[in-house]
Amino acid sequence: MIVHILRMKALSIKQPFAELILQGKKKIELRKWNTHFRGKFLIHSPKNPDTNALKQFGFVVKDRNFSQKISAFPNKSRSTWRNISVLDYKELPCGLIVGSAILKDVKKYKNEKEHRKDKELHLASSYWGNYGFILENAHRIKPIPAKGKLNFWNFNYSPSIIQNNKY
């Protein structure tokens, strides 16, 4: 039996940013480096999430005192919390390929003013980089175990994985 192995580009994006992309809330992924790659790629969520960002975006441990915990964040109004999907951060998949998206273009931010103008699209500070990867058609797939790498990397897979995940 001949088994065909296919290859697709993948990009590791820490949680909760991977989840925010899959929810359609983050449309631009910031990086400190540029790429010539354009097209469909897999979204990989590394094993270790960004704990500061988890708190910033409302991914908290849910328990009986959940509403008290929300009110303990003075910088967030009740209306802000209604716009954020609050999940137990332990429910976020890590160490897996969790979705796919299309990299349509890369935007170079020349200054802080340009960067702030797109704040609602990238949800981050300029600390994360001056290159905005403009994403489209992000969607969730059945998680696939994988070890991530830096930059875009090649993920090898069999066609049956694609059929089972509805790419």
| pLDDT single digits (tens) 71-121 | 444 444 444 444 444 455 567 899 999 999 999 999 999 999 999 999 999
List, for residues 38-75, the tens digit of each pLDDT value: 999 999 999 998 888 888 887 765 544 444 444 444 44
pTM across the whole model: 0.78
The confidence score (pLDDT) of residue 141 equals 92
pLDDT higher than 90, residue 137: yes
Q: Would you state the pLDDT for residue 82?
A: 43
Q: Is the pLDDT of residue 148 over 50?
A: yes
In a domain, 29, yes or no: yes
* 128 found inside a domain: yes
**Domain CATH number, residue 11:** 2.30.130.30
Is residue 165 in some structural domain? Answer: no
- What value does the mean pLDDT take over residues 4-23? 92
**Residue pointed to by tokens 């931010």:** 109
Confirm whether 31 is domain-assigned: yes
Q: Are strands 28-31 and 131-145 parallel, antiparallel or unpaired?
A: antiparallel
85 domain residue, yes or no: no
* In a domain? residue 58: no
CA distance 70 to 81: 8
Q: Which pLDDT does position 163 carry in this prediction?
A: 56
- Give the domain range for residue 38: 6-49+92-149
Rounded to whole angstroms, the Cα distance separating 126 from 115 reads: 7
Residue 64, domain member (yes or no):
no
How much is the average pLDDT of 25-44?
A: 97
Domain count, the chain: 1
Segment 147-152 shows an average pLDDT of 94
User: Cα(87)–Cα(98) distance, rounded to whole angstroms?
Assistant: 16
